[in-house]
A and B are shown apart, each in its own frame.
Chain A
């Protein structure tokens, strides 16, 4: 493939993403005049106003919801990584007790999903309603991630693990000293999957958190996007307030920026040659 073709392809791909995103940002800082004139989605605003962001950040809902999301994401991802890594490693070691039936349970969990109401009753019976655990615990183990991680563990060079065992390392020591360091790339990807999963989750929060003070930002966002009106627009004058479209796009931006910040940490581990050095050393 020639350089020029490659460049053109990548530019096209990026443009397809960047243009709508510029529109999102532009709409979030547009005036009502611009928004209505452009049919709701502004690509180039004529006048810039940060009124929507001001309204969101001082309204007493959004900053708190972002805080909740950060908490859920941090705690959840940490728990998930621990439980998933242990489970996947356990299932990647042959011959351990209950190895095959448990693996089957994990795979079957991918194929059969429980209904909303039984899930609610379980969480409710455990007394988790209106706690953050209701949102975190059911999501700690994701079968897809377990299967992926296990596959990566299986592919670690067996001579490495073998030599560790000959050196007298216990299973636990092998895991911590050899398996984990060699799996940084996939662990960071799985961590990213979990983090983004927790960040994006709104449905469990809707079901399990009655107190709207505990809502994460994605559920708040949903009330801006799906509920089409600001309250009372049928009864009140709102001409001087930021337009609904700008508010929607602004909260969208606010909800995306924090999770974007973690991506560089993940990318760091995509560097090549991690395995090679280990095998040789």
Chain B
């Protein structure tokens, strides 16, 4: 065989040098990403879409629009393809099995035709996102659109530092294209709520387009059919009643437990106690959840309930199939995002009797309902940056994004999500029901490039849509945000160390609940948390709270 040409050390290092930042943009520019600079950014002016009228309207506080059926006929928004030919490349992630390549994928081909470009995607499995992203950065051969691994889906930072500096040198500041009124050129981007844009702000500019989500994050789903069948009151009025309910519905011999896992209990009980949603900023002091008494108390109660056998015994396993347990009735309470509704309906085997609803969490000692935590990730799932390019190119790309953000109710949205009628799905009960080809071919990950504002819509289940909407309407007004996310704050230490710090908390919490450590171990967790970077993060954020004058 022919040996491949060898690379000398010099050429390799030269390549590596190109991968690094230009010297001029090194640490000196690091302070471009300051709280003051980011506060003053000219954010895109919000102009809600009027293309379709929701069946149940959302609210400015963050309740999402709800649709009982998909609007019929769907509104056709675009008359011409937004693209001008040529190739557009994007680095995206997906949480699904890899879709068929373009040659075997009629959906992708049709998408190209509609967009008017040759869309080339580097699709990365979400679990490997951080690694693959690191090599992309190192190789410095960037595609036009990049979903950076600052946040994995669900808002967990991927542990890579210096993102703002990298963006400053390699990516486009979109402010002059979308800031203020200029966003009107892209009406679908203008219809993305301001809170979502705020999370794209770095270096004093808008550096990305968001994938917006509702602020109502994780809720507790309840198997009403099973709990009702056992004759147990599903609406506890206090912690004591909640524990009593769990005791009554648990029957290990029948393979049935109240809770899918103990982490959910810590989550619920903290809210009963009015605990901190990740962080608490009060009286000029920033406190992390792990440092609060509410956390300790919640862990203590959760440990007692676990010991009593009220939690599924296999729940500590990674990748525990919690949704399947819930669907099978092995566990009757599960905490999940509001987006999980349809899946629960699709994957249960209880048939027509299947009934779920969100449980309202009572206050710990009774007397009213607890304030519910908002989504920890805030109003955006992730955002997409644009590789540096000339203004014309950026405008072209933004036009594509405008198309990809066509709102719910349009024909474009229906196509983007579900494909083409007949080929990829059929309409039943006012909702698209995809076939295997539809599920496989549409899994391109383009939904992580940009998206329209999220809506509440459970296909073919108007009554469930109503439940979800009513729940949001009830909890959102006095829901508790994560103050750091709400303030749009950034700490490099946090974005790097959050996985480590999160690991300290979750591992320690598990050790205590499983009985491997006493409750006093919380103190050791706190010390470790501070030493491993928590204290630095607190300093970073506190300074920003103070500068911005947030009370």
Name A34's closest neighbour in chain B (CB-CB): B349
Q: What is the minimal beta-carbon distance from B122 to any residue of chain A, in angstroms?
A: 4
Q: Judge whether A210 and B122 touch: CB under 8 Å.
A: yes
What residues of A have a CB within 8 angstroms of the CB of B412 in the complex?
Answer: none
Kindly identify which residue among B5, B138, B435 contacts A241, using a CB–CB cutoff of 8 Å: B435
What residues of B have a CB within 8 angstroms of the CB of A61 in the complex?
Answer: 97-101, 104, 440
Q: Judge whether B443 and A220 touch: CB under 8 Å.
A: no
Name B349's closest neighbour in chain A (CB-CB): A36
Q: Report the separation of the CA atoms of residues A211 and B90 in the bound assembly, to the nearest whole angstrom.
A: 11
Kindly identify which residue among A40, A121, A233 contacts B19, using a CB–CB cutoff of 8 Å: A121
Does A32 interact with chain B (Cβ within 8 Å)? Answer: yes
Q: Report the separation of the CA atoms of residues A223 and B127 in the bound assembly, to the nearest whole angstrom.
A: 9
Kindly identify which residue among B97, B122, B324, B439 contacts A227, using a CB–CB cutoff of 8 Å: B97
What residues of A have a CB within 8 angstroms of the CB of B425 in the complex?
Answer: 236
Tell me the A202-223 residues at the B interface (CB within 8 Å): 206-207, 210-213, 215, 219-220, 222-223
What residues of B have a CB within 8 angstroms of the CB of A229 in the complex?
Answer: 95-96, 343
Q: Judge whether A36 and B440 touch: CB under 8 Å.
A: no
Q: Judge whether A122 and B342 touch: CB under 8 Å.
A: no
Q: Report the separation of the CA atoms of residues A61 and B97 in the bound assembly, to the nearest whole angstrom.
A: 10
Tell me the B220-278 residues at the A interface (CB within 8 Å): 255
Does B328 interact with chain A (Cβ within 8 Å)? Answer: yes
Q: Judge whether A126 and B7 touch: CB under 8 Å.
A: yes
Q: Judge whether A233 and B7 touch: CB under 8 Å.
A: no
Q: What is the minimal beta-carbon distance from A10 to any residue of chain B, in angstroms?
A: 32
Q: Report the separation of the CA atoms of residues A223 and B460 in the bound assembly, to the nearest whole angstrom.
A: 29
Q: Judge whether A122 and B349 touch: CB under 8 Å.
A: no
Does B11 interact with chain A (Cβ within 8 Å)? Answer: yes
What residues of B have a CB within 8 angstroms of the CB of A82 in the complex?
Answer: 1
What residues of B have a CB within 8 angstroms of the CB of A64 in the complex?
Answer: 101, 104
Tell me the A104-159 residues at the B interface (CB within 8 Å): 116-118, 120-122, 124-126, 128-129, 133, 137
What residues of A have a CB within 8 angstroms of the CB of B19 in the complex?
Answer: 121
What residues of A have a CB within 8 angstroms of the CB of B428 in the complex?
Answer: 237
Does A239 interact with chain B (Cβ within 8 Å)? Answer: yes
Q: What is the minimal beta-carbon distance from A240 to any residue of chain B, in angstroms?
A: 7
Given contacts A229-B95, A230-B439, contact A223 B328 (CB under 8 A): no
What residues of B have a CB within 8 angstroms of the CB of A206 in the complex?
Answer: 124-125, 128, 131-132
Q: What is the minimal beta-carbon distance from B517 to any residue of chain A, in angstroms?
A: 29
Q: Report the separation of the CA atoms of residues A61 and B439 in the bound assembly, to the nearest whole angstrom.
A: 13
Name A137's closest neighbour in chain B (CB-CB): B4
Kindly identify which residue among A211, A222, A230 contacts B125, using a CB–CB cutoff of 8 Å: A222
Q: What is the minimal beta-carbon distance from B410 to any residue of chain A, in angstroms?
A: 15
Contact with A along B118-146 (1 / 0, CB 8 A): 00011111111001101100110100000
What residues of A have a CB within 8 angstroms of the CB of B122 in the complex?
Answer: 210-211
Kindly identify which residue among A37, A60, A237 contacts B460, using a CB–CB cutoff of 8 Å: A237
Does B173 interact with chain A (Cβ within 8 Å)? Answer: no
Interface residues of B (CB under 8 A from A): 1, 4-5, 7, 11-12, 15-16, 19, 94-105, 121-128, 131-132, 134-135, 138-139, 141, 255, 319, 321, 324, 327-328, 330, 337, 339-340, 342-343, 345-349, 417-418, 425, 428, 431-443, 457, 459-460
Apart from A36-B347, A60-B101, A238-B434: 5 A-B pairs, beta carbons within 8 A: A60-B440, A61-B104, A220-B98, A237-B433, A242-B436
Interface residues of A (CB under 8 A from B): 32-33, 36-37, 39-40, 55, 58-61, 64, 79, 82-83, 116-118, 120-122, 124-126, 128-129, 133, 137, 206-207, 210-213, 215, 219-220, 222-224, 226-243, 247
Can you name 7 A-B pairs with beta carbons within 8 Å?
A121-B12, A223-B97, A227-B127, A231-B439, A232-B442, A236-B432, A236-B433
